[in-house]
Amino acid sequence: MQVKYPTKPFECWQKAKEMRLQNYKDIINAKADGKLLFAGQRGAPTEVMAGFGDIEFLGMNDYAASVAHDPPMALEAFERWEAKGYARDLCAYWRCFMGSVLTDHFYFGGQFPKIDFVFTQNACDTNGKCQLLMAETLGAHYVMVDIPVVGDYKQSNKPYYVDYVAAQFNKAIEKVSRISGRKYDDEKLIEAVYNRCSAEVLWSEIMMMNQVTPCPMDMKAQYTFLVPLLVAKYKPETVTYYQGLKQEMEARVKEGISAVPTERFRLLHHGAPPWHSLRFFRVPQAYGAVFIGSDFSIIQFAAFEEKPNGAFGPREDPRKVGVKLRNREEALRFFAEWYIQRGASTWCGAKTRIDHQLHLVKEWHVDGVVYHVDRGCENNTSGVLESKIGVSSALNVPTMIYEGNRGDTRDWSEVESIDRLESFLESMGLKKIKD
């Protein structure tokens, strides 16, 4: 007889959507409100720019994910950009964003906003050059910081790494000061660094609660709750939001509230999702299975570290442990070390990616892993087969692969992907649960 768990909607759900819409409304109105508006890759250390005060940031990744969720608009964007001679296998986020620029159609209404400068980092080989082309197309200044891509993120706290990155943060501030003619406020920088760290630690603590059975928050819900971290992690209201979400998660764990009514199989996803088809991740529910998250949703936006006992756990919140940042130099050095040690799976070597997935499988009690061969991101796709082999051989956990694209439906077959996922679940002896 199957155990039936109680379920109920999240109270914080609507608030996340409201914060998302408010963020893009602020972007649309930025110039009229006298703010600096800059764009770039979402992984950029935007907190460095917070010292300029009235700023808004248009992240390529989250904006492109919104466009991808509207396949007709995404297809128009892709075709307009490809007509200029750019290949279909380039970054899907970038093609969504740039195609939207060419059509002069902003997803959230009106014309595409006027950007003051592009601020980014070398998240992957494609990113630096693509962001440069973005700046040229937008008629905006280009500011980039070079972040060392260290195979083992645990080795990235070397003093020379921190020196190198902090120096570039300083140069970026100097360049934007010249571009904008605005003075820089160190206190606003310090507050932004504290806020980001607190928000990431809170998300880590929230994700730790998904280790329990039943799982209180499935992966599809995580993509809604990630929005504040994507669009405004340096703002105080983001910290307040995650404090509230953490309290709600604690209550759900205490009351045994489940993401699915009947949990009997736990899945882990690798990589970014196909944003146009998030309903794919609710298919397992019919079998009593749940996606507890992914290395993308759990690790990439959090602040995890390996503890002395070998387990994964949240880093310490600098606010709570009394870290004092008294000036720009201290804030930039602290943030440089925090930033390059974030341990994001997609920016680490193959061994570290596998290690992260092993942690998630063991400590989140995962029964099977689903790997996304994402044709919209070469970086995410690189090493998928190695990861699959490494995880399945180390823990004898069943795995499967499906092919798709985070943004482009031309590289996606929903029927085929669902069929493959259902076949995988059925091979584990699961059958659809009858009501």
| 206 located within any domain | yes
Sheet holding 399-404, edge to edge: 289-294, 265-270, 368-374, 399-404
**Exposed e or buried b per residue across 327-346, where buried means at least 16 C-beta atoms within 10 angstroms of its C-beta:** ebebbbbbbbbbbbbbbbbb
Largest CA distance in the chain: 69
The SS3 call for residue 320 is coil
| 141 located within any domain | yes
Quote the tokens at residue 27: 């972007």
- Report whether 116 contacts 133 (CB < 8 A): no
Domain holding 167, by residue range, is 13-427
| 434 located within any domain | no
As beta bridge partners, residue 399 has: 369
**Number of domains composing the chain:** 1
- Report whether 60 contacts 95 (CB < 8 A): no
Q: What is the DSSP letter of 283?
A: G
Quote the tokens at residue 369: 């892993």
| 435 located within any domain | no
| 363 located within any domain | yes
Phi then psi for residue 144, to 5 deg, are -130, 145
Q: CA 407, CA 78: separation in Å to the nearest integer? A: 10
DSSP assignment of 105-128 = --TTSSSPPPPSEEEEE-SSHHHH
| 364 located within any domain | yes
| 432 located within any domain | no
Tens digit of each residue's pLDDT, the chain (435 residues):
477 899 999 999 999 999 999 999 999 999 999 999 999 887 789 999 999 999 999 999 999 999 999 999 999 999 999 999 999 888 999 999 999 999 999 999 999 999 999 999 887 777 778 889 889 999 999 999 988 766 565 666 678 889 999 999 999 999 999 999 999 999 999 999 999 999 999 999 999 999 999 999 999 999 999 988 888 889 999 999 999 999 999 999 999 999 999 999 999 999 899 999 999 999 999 999 999 999 889 988 888 888 889 888 999 999 999 999 999 999 999 999 898 876 554 456 777 888 889 999 999 999 999 999 999 988 778 788 889 999 999 999 999 999 999 999 999 999 999 999 999 999 999 999 986
- Report whether 428 contacts 400 (CB < 8 A): no
As beta bridge partners, residue 270 has: 371
Quote the tokens at residue 376: 């919209």
Cα–Cα separations (whole angstroms), residue 215 to 73, 280, 293, 295: 35, 18, 10, 16
Helix, strand, coil percentages in the chain from 3-state DSSP, rounded to 5: 55, 10, 35
